[in-house]
Amino acid sequence: MTSPSGPRKPRLIDRFRDSVLRPVDPEDSPKGAYELTGRELEIEQKRLNDKERAIGLLAGPFATLIAFLVVHEVVTHDPAKFLSNGTVNRLYTNPSIYYELFVVLLIFSFGMSAMAMWRKRIPLGLAAAMYGLAIFNLHYWGFGVPFIMIGAWYLVRAYRLNRNLRESNPESGPAVTLRPPPPPSPNKRYTPPS
């Protein structure tokens, strides 16, 4: 677009984008996991790829470390059982509850590592999301939210890959075939005419 004073200057953001980013060439771009078809999509859907596996293998040890830190912090700062006047403190929690939670957190963290080793996407997503929810419920949101997001990412990815595999295979038909319900049986109750 030209104005009476000459050609119009591009916006600052456009000049920055043109100078920093390389233009995308459609022939050079690799196919994404959701653009695969046939056998490639079937292989991608069944097992974790290397990036997903690496994320799971890193998340497991970090989850173990976070479990140690959070449970130690919670047990250390647990208020006293009795107040100074001798009444029971309502904010007190028995430390055995935190130790039981610690065992559950360790099971989830080791489960994340094991599922990443075995390349199982859905169990890894469930373990990460449940671990994140457990930490989140202790009010350590900064530690819980990333694990919830990782778990959601694995589960959404599994859903999308499964959906694309189903759509790329039209001859396989719908995943679930529903039979029409049988017609109602005749009523055996006799009502005499009035």
Q: DSSP letters of 106-157?
A: HHHHHHHHHHHHTT-HHHHHHHHHHHHHHHHHTT-HHHHHHHHHHHHHHHHH
Residue 127: band (very low, low, confident or very high) from pLDDT cuts 50, 70, 90 = very high
Quote the pLDDT of residue 145. Answer: 95
- Domains of the chain, residue spans: 38-168
Quote the pLDDT of residue 177. Answer: 54
Residue 170: band (very low, low, confident or very high) from pLDDT cuts 50, 70, 90 = low
Q: How many CB atoms lie within 10 A of CB 75?
A: 14
User: Is the predicted pLDDT of residue 3 greater than 80, yes or no?
Assistant: no
User: Is the predicted pLDDT of residue 105 greater than 90, yes or no?
Assistant: yes
Quote the pLDDT of residue 34. Answer: 57
pTM above 0.75, yes or no: no
Quote the pLDDT of residue 64. Answer: 97
Percent of the chain with pLDDT over 90: 45
Q: Which of 58-62, 131-135, 177-181 has the lowest mean pLDDT?
A: 177-181
Which tokens is 40 given? 């490639």
Quote the pLDDT of residue 27. Answer: 62
Average pLDDT, the chain: 84
Structural element, H or E, at residue 3: strand 2-3
Q: Exposure string (b/e) for 129-163, b if CB count within 10 Å is 16 or more?
A: bbbbebbbebebeebbebbbebbeebbebbeebee
Of 98, 152, 103, 145, which is closest to residue 127 (Cα–Cα)?
A: 152
| Cβ–Cβ < 8 Å for 132, 146 | yes
Angle in degrees, CA 149, 154, 155, rounded to 5: 95
Q: What single-letter DSSP state applies at residue 192?
A: -
